[in-house]
């Protein structure tokens, strides 16, 4: 499965305002729910918050990938936002987060969830992609950047 398949226009935001980590998590769940595949936003938020209590999902370089496994979805669901400004997310490198994903997966099976987390992490490890995402001005810009990056990186 490709990230581009999950990131439809309705689940991408550019210039998303967020006051803090909790506000961002809520906004990301709401964004993911716009795609229609989240059946219980409260349960989805709870799963993400529970995972976040174990360890931050702020992976560094201004990127966070909050995620959780929940009965609130039947299949993988993702959303992505370029934040209006960086926020403190308790990231591993201490840098403010400005690029944020959310990934929600069903309780079972675990494989697709883990593979998509790995795919996102590998993509976001690319300096040029992060730079270009910061400069994105529209949802279509973001989708085009991910499509190009996936083609380059995974030879799809």
Strands 58-60, 63-64: pairing kind: antiparallel
Is the four-CA dihedral 94, 57, 5, 3 of positive or negative sign? positive
Residue 7: alpha-carbon gap to chain centroid: 9
- Across 3-15, b (16+ Cβ under 10 Å) vs e yields bbebbeeebbbbe
Cβ-Cβ contacts under 8 Å for 18 (sequence gap 6 or more) = 24, 27, 83, 84, 87
Active site residues: 67
Cα–Cα distance, 104 to 70 (Å, whole number): 7
């Amino acid at each position: 499965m490709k990230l581009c398949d999950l990131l439809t226009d309705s689940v991408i935001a550019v210039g998303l305002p967020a006051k803090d980590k909790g506000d961002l998590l809520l906004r990301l769940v709401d964004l993911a729910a716009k795609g229609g595949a989240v059946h219980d936003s409260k349960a989805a938020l709870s799963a993400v918050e529970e995972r976040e209590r174990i360890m931050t999902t702020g992976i560094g370089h201004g990127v966070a990938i909050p995620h959780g496994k929940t009965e609130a979805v039947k299949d993988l669901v993702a959303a992505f936002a370029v934040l209006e400004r960086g926020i403190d997310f308790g990231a591993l490198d201490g840098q403010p987060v400005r690029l944020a994903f959310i990934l929600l997966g069903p309780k079972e099976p675990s494989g697709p969830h883990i593979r998509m987390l790995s795919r996102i992490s590998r993509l976001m490890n690319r300096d040029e992609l992060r730079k270009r995402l910061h400069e994105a001005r529209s949802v279509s810009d973001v989708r085009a950047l991910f499509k190009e990056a996936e083609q380059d990186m995974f030879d799809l």
